Structure 1
Amino acid sequence: MPTTPSRLTCVIIDDNEMNRLTLEHFVELTDSLTLMASFSGSIEALAFLKSNPSVDVLLLDIEMPHLSGLDLVKILPQPQPEVILVTSHRDFAVEAFALRVADYLVKPVEYARFVQAMSLAADRRAASKAPPSEPSAEAQVPAQGSVLFVKVNNKLVRLNFDEVLYIEAMSTYSVIVTLTQKHIVYASLKALEQRLPFAHFRRVHRSYVVNTHRISFIEDNMLVLGPYEVPVGKSYQEEFFRSLPNL
């Protein structure tokens, strides 16, 4: 089937045959994706990527012999595809997000989570291909009340919190998630929650604080924010739903 402009081309690299076949099946199920190639090793895949710079998305296992997924990301030819890392362990999350990958999937991967990751990769890919435009003065300088400086990798990064979807706890650090980026902050979720000056950021789970202005809809105690779903914990449900403005 010929590739249409709306389709994303993708490559899979995983040395585990069962995991690789699962990802291939997920790609086959997804109308917006076209599988260009699937590899059991990163070295042969690197040669393919060098000769095919148009690949949009790379589904990449982390733990592989000879050349790990993390090491492969560091030497990918430019322009790089959007990378979605796939692993059996959460321990690589800090290093993975520091490499500015699109997303990080933990095995066994569920199809719904796969679709979320692909949606984020598609948004990032579209943004990278969009022609530069002259931002308005308002866009250049967000309202000061929505901007905070956050320490990320020993740098103070200026974030417009109107664009933040949610903040997730990851062990002793937190991940601030927008539609196009994930920022690792070396502070606990509790510490961030206590310092956030915005009333519309609410704790809805022991692992999540959400921007209620970014909730698209709620279904079965799941909050949908862009391509992501965040659960509302049982102990938070009564207070959270009572706080929502509704008819």
Structure 2
Amino acid sequence: MLTCAIIDDEEINRLTLEHYIELTPDLELVASLSDGIAGLKYFREDNRVDVLFLDIEMPHLSGLDLLRVLPDPPEVIITTARQDFAVDAFELRVTDYLVKPFEFSRFTQAVQRVLERRKPTAGTPAAAAPAEAAPSADLFVKVNSKMVRVNFDEVLYVEALSDYVNIVTPKQKFIVYTTLKGLETRLAQFPNFVRVHRSYLLNTLHIESIEDNTANLKGGHFVPIGKSYQDGFFKSLAKI
């Protein structure tokens, strides 16, 4: 059973979450708090939980600001009425992002994600201390007027298009309003993404061969390797 806490400034939302937790055999509620300041005090008193259900927009201290100051946060499931904080939330490595109002089935799906992340790997005793979880490969990107979840393990490459970037997967492309430099900073947690050209970020997981300073990727895609990037790129390949 996982211990959990709620931090939300709206009583109706806390009551809904408390009811959902009561219906979930894997969860035990140990704290239900009404604002971020109370949450900060709770964790600074050395209280710990396995899962935190956290609202974003709260007076005095937002949920995201609370996460930024907690040195060792638990698994976090965001519960908010706003969709436009998703990118910032996933940069803080939250487990899931629920947009209010959400049904019990969606709540259960988020809890299942926590359970999956906490499963011991094959050959590891269940009682052993869990290793630090690898960062999720999923990030939200804003495409036109909606937020789209993209699994960046599947991304082949990213191409700069003036003030936009083209994120290319084997099945589709996403045109996103950001700079290549800005996206490169956000992808720093993924060491398989390498800058190989002033206009390209390349996912080395999908390289099939390299010929004439061109990376040949799965599905017949090609990415040029710029002259000023070649030395660093080929040295990095020796470590793969």
Q: Name the TM-score class by shorter chain.
A: 0.5 to 0.7
In 1, the alpha carbon distance for the partners of 2:31 and 2:109 equals 21
The answer as to 2:77 corresponding to 1:103 is: no
Q: Could you tell me which runs of 5 or more consecutive residues in structure 2 were left unpaired when the two chains were aligned.
A: 122-126, 159-163, 174-240
Q: 1:167 to 1:58 in 2, by over 3 A?
A: closer
> Is 2:141–2:150's contact at 8 Å kept on the other side of the alignment?
no
Q: Structure 1 residue 85 and structure 2 residue 85: aligned?
A: no
- Spell out the pairing of 1:20-35 with structure 2 (5 A cutoff): 20-35=14-29
Give the TM-score, by structure 2 length: 0.55
Instruction: Choose the corresponding residue for 2:150, options 176, 179, 188.
Output: 176
Q: Secondary structure at the match of 2:76?
A: strand
Post-superposition offset of 1:131: 4.6
Residues 44, 65 of structure 1: CA spacing in aligned structure 2 closer, same or farther, 3 A cutoff?
same
Bigger Rg, which one: 2
1:108 is paired with a residue whose SS is coil
Q: Residue 187 of structure 1: CA displacement? A: 5.8
* Number of residue-to-residue matches in the alignment: 155
Q: Where does residue 141 of structure 1 map in the other structure?
A: none
Q: Counterpart of 2:34?
A: 40
Segments of 4+ in structure 1 off by > 6 A?
Answer: 166-169
Letter in 2 for 1:74: R
- Helix, strand or coil at the partner of 1:91: coil
Q: 2:57 is matched with which residue?
A: 63
Counterpart CA distance in 2 for 1:170 and 1:112 is 25
Secondary structure in 2 matching 1:34 = strand
Structure 1: runs of 5+ lacking an equivalent:
1-6, 134-158, 196-247
SS in structure 1 at match of 2:84 = helix
Q: Is the 8 A contact 2:53 2:76 kept in 1?
A: yes
CA offsets 1:133-158 (integer angstroms, 9 cap, x no match): 9xxxxxxxxxxxxxxxxxxxxxxxxx
Instruction: For residue 65 of structure 2, give the secondary structure of its aligned residue in structure 1.
Output: helix
- Pair 1:131–1:90, CA change in 2 (3 A): same
| Partner amino acid, structure 2, of 1:109 | F
Aligned match of 1:207: none
Whether the aligned pair in 2 keeps the contact of 1:12 and 1:38 (CA below 8 Å) is yes
- For residues 83 and 16 of structure 2, what CA distance do their matches in structure 1 show? 20
Tell me which residue corresponds to 2:212.
Answer: none
Q: Give the superposition deviation at 1:48.
A: 1.2
Superposition pairs of residues 1-247 of structure 1, within 5 angstroms: 7-78=1-72, 80-126=73-119, 131=129, 170-172=142-144, 174-177=148-151, 191-192=168-169, 193-194=171-172
SS of corresponding position for 2:77? strand
- Deviation digits for residues 86-125 of structure 1 (CA, Å, limit 9, x no counterpart): 1111111111111110000000021000011011122223
Residue 81 of structure 1: CA displacement?
0.6
Map Cα deviations across residues 8-59 of structure 1 (whole Å, 9 max, x no partner). Answer: 0000011011111000100001011000000111111211122344300000
Task: Give the 3 Å change call, closer, same or farther, for CA 175–110 of structure 1 in structure 2.
Answer: same
Amino acid at match of 1:122: L
1:143 equivalent in structure 2: none
Instruction: Describe the shift of the 1:52–1:35 C-alpha distance in structure 2 as closer, same or farther (beyond 3 A).
Output: farther
Contact 2:90 2:140 (C-alpha < 8 Å) held by counterparts: no
Task: Compute the RMSD of aligned alpha carbons.
Answer: 3.6
Counterpart in the other structure of 2:213: none
Q: Which has the higher helix share?
A: 1
